[in-house]
Amino acid sequence: MCKECGCGETNGNNRLQFIVDGYTDDNAKEVEKALLGLPGVLYVHIHPHEGETTVDYSPKLTKLSAIMKVFDDRGLTANL
Amino acid sequence: MAVTIDVKADILGKNDAVAEELRNLFKEKHVFVLDLMGSPGCGKTTLLEKTMQALKDDINMAVIEGDLFTSKDADRIDRYGVPVVQINTAGGCHLDAPMIKKAIENIDLDKLDLLVIENVGNLVCPAEFDIGEQKRAVVLSITEGDDKPMKYPLMFKLASIVLLNKTDILKFCNFNLDGATEDIKTLNPGVEVLPVSCSLGDGLKPWLDWLREMVRSVK
């Protein structure tokens, strides 16, 4: 958040954490890139070994189903 | 009993309403309006100087300059004979739509093709505020570091064009040009990324062509 004007406090964004089964180092990079390319997704962090995946996104701009599709398209199972 | 009122939501809502009003006005007047953003010292004003040198005889331009306190940038623009309006935010870290609405009272939109609004130097707040622009351009200088797109994603996510400036000193900086370009395109797959040196005028042709095309598109 900006200390001057208070903007960006949440950006209207939600932060979700998924546990994803089936990551490899390569497909984790691919998922990160695909998620960051979605409208309103500002931050993605993936721990491939634990499957922990954090996504900061705007529900106004991207539906949760679009995020889930990124996992599904690569044969990955994601749970909230 | 205390009552909490979320004032911020109201301010942003009001800003967006004024921004939409401005966008409609600019459309009606066939003026292409660009919000030019980037960090302090990234080269926004130098880019504007080179742009004015190249386009001012073919395109009717005006500039709105956002600055916390001074008119240093507006003074530089004024030397080129292009109409310029200074907004001093008195410490405020971004421009907003009501400020632009007031500033254009001093500009004859009927005579304009292109209005460039140089926002306050800042990679955070200006990205949050719609000021009625049609497109956003971001200047990132290589001296700032190649990690900035991922650290300030909203700025790059909403840009239509990004200029990676100061490539003339690339060999002295630890800046990965390909990596930064890939990060920007990862955040914003449709964006144009142009390596340039504004001080030398290198690589500016695609930028000038893009601006000409944008001006044509609103006629």
Do the chains contact at B187 and A37, CB–CB below 8 Å?
Answer: yes
B178: number of CA atoms within 13 Å, CB side?
0
Residue A69 in this model has a pLDDT that exceeds 90: yes
* Residue A25 pLDDT: 87
pLDDT value for B182: 97
Q: Which residues of B113-147 are buried (b: 16+ CB within 10 A; e: fewer)?
A: bbbbbbbbbbbbbbbbbbbbbbbbbbbbbbbbebe
Cβ pair A27, A53 in contact under 8 A: no
Tell me, what's the pLDDT at A7?
A: 72
Residues 10-49 of B with CB under 8 A from A: 12
- Best B68, B128, B151, B182 member to test A by mutation, with max A CBs in 10 Å, is B128
Question: Is any Cβ of chain A less than 8 angstroms from the Cβ of B8?
Answer: yes
Per-chain mean pLDDT for chain A: 89
**Interchain proximity B186–A2, CB inside 8 Å:** no
Q: Is B186 on the interface with A (CB under 8 A)?
A: yes
pLDDT for res B32: 98
Answer yes or no: do A42 and B124 touch at CB < 8 A: no
- Along chain B (219 residues), what's the average pLDDT of each consecutive run of 10 residues? 51 87 98 98 97 95 93 93 93 92 96 97 93 98 97 96 98 96 97 98 98 97
For chain B, what is the total number of helices (H) and then of strands (E)?
Answer: 8, 7
CB B169 within 8 A of CB B15: no
> Cα separation of A6 and B130, whole Å?
16
For chain B, the structural domain boundaries read: 14-217
Pairs of residues, one from chain A and one from chain B, whose beta carbons lie less than 8 Å apart:
40
**Bigger pLDDT: B6 vs A77:** A77
pLDDT of residue A9: 62
Predicted confidence at residue B5, as pLDDT, reads 47
Of B125, B153, B157, the CB nearest to A2: B125
Which residue on chain A is closest to B183 by alpha carbon? A33
Q: DSSP string spanning B54-119?
A: HHTTTS-EEEEEEESS--HHHHHHHTTT--EEEEE-TT-SS--HHHHHHHGGGS-GGG-SEEEEE-
Helix (H), strand (E) at residue A14:
strand A14-21
Tell me which of A10 and B130 has the higher pLDDT: B130
Superfamily classification of domain B14-217 = P-loop containing nucleotide triphosphate hydrolases (3.40.50.300)
Using an 8 Å CB-CB cutoff, list chain A residues near B91: 4
**Beta carbons within 8 Å of B153's beta carbon, 6+ residues apart:** A36, A42, A43, B187
How far is residue B36's CA from residue B142's CA, in Å, rounded to a whole number?
A: 17
3-state class (DSSP) for residue B137: strand
Distance CA A20, CA A50 (A): 8
When pLDDT is cut at 50, 70 and 90, the band that residue A1 belongs to is: low
Nearest chain B residue to A58 by CA: give it.
B154
* Closest in A8, A36, A40 to B125, CB measured: A8
Which of residues A58 and B204 earns the better pLDDT score?
B204
